């Protein structure tokens, strides 16, 4: 075995000027705990001893025909320092180094092994050597740790043209939002008449009054800019666990969301203060809580959440409804499987198909005819309003249903496109006059576990976010 190694070394140094790292890479699988540079130097000394020749006779000159000097300590150090300089404005804890090896170098690697009778895959390739050695020095330079999954930053070196580029991966902030005012969409809603430009045929768009938006603001616009500015990011994207209608409020525990900050300069933030800053900026229209730093996996967890939802809604009937008939209709809907053809209000942007969704629970109470506001005056549990006949033209309904259930159409029937429906069972036209989402819940998913929560710094956000 020793003779084989020495024979490999002799043959390699005879191919031309070869640096110690390129020589050592040929036997990289031998003797753990050594660098390829140490392996190469040891092989060179061993050959000199075995052949009884001065080691200087087989020393490389200033060049290496395989890597052309890219493996030298000076060059590796230079790459690491250039990477650290390019990222000096960014805070990061983890990194990864990559190399775009020029085809010429890859061909040299192949020819070296071919010339000395080694398998092309023997030892270690130049790319792996540079990634590791530059990475080790970059880590010492910056104090960061290598991460082969999804690091905070990635440095890619290009020996072929002596260039280097860096990628700063996004940071992620999780929370739950409550939308306390109506007519606020979840995300930015550009005006469709002017394509978001604010101009229509060169003049101020009459639909959006030149703002470029169909609605003045959104949950995204009231939250994402604060997170972006706090983390010094280039931009921020809002990801929600579903969305409620523009005219619906999101109350009580709120809806989960993640804000993705692109190219953040700061990753360690006080999430308690960030939460307070968001709520101050939103000025009562939106509130957030449970704010934490999380890892990138949380975006898909939130976006793909199979969630059920609970709604509360006042309902108006075209004519008076008797309490017994109302209670019977609710009993019929409770636990029912609902077939819904795509509602007329959204069929211009969604495929016209029939969906089936479950109603897990539904409760309701008739309300007095003179009730006003979003909540109205409710009846007692039996359905009879105090001092009111057992008939009414209004009600409040609270419903817990499967995600994707169109609750407005469950009430109105949508001209027969939803079966069964409250209106259809009562034989009276019914309409939801306002809608509140009061809960968004994972059906069989505890959602957050510890590995998705990142340390947010010294002061903020010690508890894990909750799903259930």
Distance in angstroms (rounded) separating the CA atoms of residues 385 and 369: 10
Kindly tell me the burial class for residue 26, based on how many C-beta atoms sit within 10 Å of its own C-beta (0-12, 13-18, 19 or more). Answer: buried
Q: Which of 200, 245, 289, 327 is catalytic?
A: 245
Kindly tell me the burial class for residue 351, based on how many C-beta atoms sit within 10 Å of its own C-beta (0-12, 13-18, 19 or more). Answer: exposed
Distance in angstroms (rounded) separating the CA atoms of residues 191 and 193: 6
Which residues, including other chains, have CB under 8 Å from residue 335's CB and lie 6 or more apart?
Answer: 358, 359, 360, 361
Active site annotation includes 245:
yes
Contact 218, 184 (CB under 8 A): yes
The answer to whether the bond into 420 is cis (omega within 30° of 0) is yes
Longest Cα separation, the chain: 115
Distance in angstroms (rounded) separating the CA atoms of residues 186 and 175: 14
The closest of 219, 307, 302, 301 to 256, measured between CA atoms, is 302
Distance in angstroms (rounded) separating the CA atoms of residues 109 and 356: 61
Catalytic residues, by residue number, are 245
């Amino acid at each position: 075995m020793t003779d084989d190694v020495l024979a490999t070394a002799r043959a390699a140094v005879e191919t031309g000027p070869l640096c110690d790292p390129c020589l050592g890479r040929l036997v990289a699988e031998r003797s753990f705990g050594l660098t390829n540079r140490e392996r190469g130097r040891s092989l060179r000394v061993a050959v000199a001893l075995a052949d009884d020749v001065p080691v200087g006779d087989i020393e490389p000159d200033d060049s290496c025909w395989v890597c052309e000097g890219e493996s030298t300590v000076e060059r590796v150090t230079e790459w690491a320092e250039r990477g650290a300089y390019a990222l000096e404005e960014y805070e990061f804890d983890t990194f990864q180094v990559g190399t775009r090896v020029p085809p010429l170098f890859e061909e040299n690697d192949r020819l070296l092994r071919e010339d000395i009778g080694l398998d092309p895959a023997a030892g270690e390739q130049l790319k792996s050597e540079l990634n590791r050695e530059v990475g080790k020095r970059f880590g010492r330079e910056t104090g960061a740790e290598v991460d082969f999954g999804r690091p905070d930053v990635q440095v890619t070196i290009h020996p072929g043209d002596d260039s280097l580029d860096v990628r700063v991966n996004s940071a992620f902030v999780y929370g739950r939002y409550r939308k306390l005012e109506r007519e606020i969409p979840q995300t930015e809603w550009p005006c469709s008449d002017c394509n978001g430009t604010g101009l229509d045929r060169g003049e101020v768009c009459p639909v959006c009054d030149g703002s470029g938006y169909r609605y003045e603001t959104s949950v995204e616009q009231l939250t994402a800019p604060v997170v972006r500015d706090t983390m010094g990011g280039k931009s921020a994207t809002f990801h929600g666990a579903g969305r409620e209608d523009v005219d619906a409020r999101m109350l009580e525990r709120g809806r989960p969301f993640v804000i993705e900050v692109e190219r953040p300069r700061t990753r360690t933030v006080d999430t308690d203060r960030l939460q307070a800053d968001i709520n101050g900026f939103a000025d009562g229209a939106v509130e957030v809580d449970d704010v934490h730093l999380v890892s990138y996996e949380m975006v898909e967890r939130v976006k793909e959440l199979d969630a059920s939802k609970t709604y509360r809604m006042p309902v108006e009937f075209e004519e008076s409804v008797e309490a017994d008939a109302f209670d019977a209709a609710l009993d019929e809907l409770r636990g029912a499987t609902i077939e819904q053809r795509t509602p007329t209000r959204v069929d211009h942007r969604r495929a016209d198909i029939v969906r089936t969704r479950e109603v897990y629970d539904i409760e309701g109470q008739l309300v007095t005819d003179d009730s006003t506001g979003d909540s109205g005056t409710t009846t007692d549990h039996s359905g009879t309003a105090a001092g009111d006949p057992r008939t009414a033209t209004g009600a409040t309904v609270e419903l817990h249903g499967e995600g994707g259930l169109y609750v407005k159409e469950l009430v109105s029937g949508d001209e027969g496109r939803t079966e069964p429906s409250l209106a259809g069972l009562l034989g009276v036209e019914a309409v939801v006059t306002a809608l509140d989402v009061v809960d968004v819940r994972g059906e069989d998913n505890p959602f957050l576990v510890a590995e998705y929560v990142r340390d947010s710094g010294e002061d903020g956000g010690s508890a894990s976010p909750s799903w259930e």
